[in-house]
Amino acid sequence: MNVDIGPLSLILLAAAATFLWRFLGVILSSRLRPEGAWIQWMTAVAYAVLAALAARMLVLPVGELATIPLWIRLAGAAVGIGVFFVTKRNALAGVVTGTLAFIALVAGH
């Protein structure tokens, strides 16, 4: 017995699965306290994953980034982090400045 599921059926099934979880998230989120321990834990995990990915890119890069010396990658990150804190946690200023510092260091290397 062969069941032929067309592409449209697969797209509709995937959309239904996606929207089911989103709907449940909306329903359940109204019952969660933003200052609660569970939300604080989830926020901490999200930041930890982001930090781990950034550290992985800096220390063990792949592709073209691996050809850039470690000190240049770390210096660009340090400049960006420094500007982030100096500008009262302005993420845009930190990212732009860190990126420009990285580009300048690579160009001068």
pLDDT of residue 1: 56
Does the residue 18 lie in any domain? no
Specify if 59 maps to a domain.
Answer: yes
In a domain, 40, yes or no: yes
User: Which pLDDT belongs to residue 65?
Assistant: 94
Q: Tell me if 60 is assigned to some domain.
A: yes
Residue 3: the pLDDT is 66
Residue 104 lies in a domain: yes
- Cβ-based neighbours of 33, under 8 Å, separated by 6 or more: 39
- For residue 6, being part of any structural domain is answered with no
Q: How many CB atoms lie within 10 A of CB 73?
A: 19
Q: Is residue 25 part of a domain?
A: no
Specify the number of domains making up the chain: 1
> Is the distance from CB of 94 to CB of 87 less than 8 angstroms?
yes
pLDDT along the chain (109 residues), means of 10: 77 92 87 84 94 94 95 97 97 97 96
pLDDT of 34 reads 80
Q: Which domain holds residue 59?
A: 34-108
What is the pLDDT, as a whole number, of residue 2? 66
CB 49 within 8 A of CB 67: no
**Residue pointed to by tokens 């992985």:** 56
Q: Do residues 101 and 79 touch, judged by C-beta distance below 8 A?
A: yes
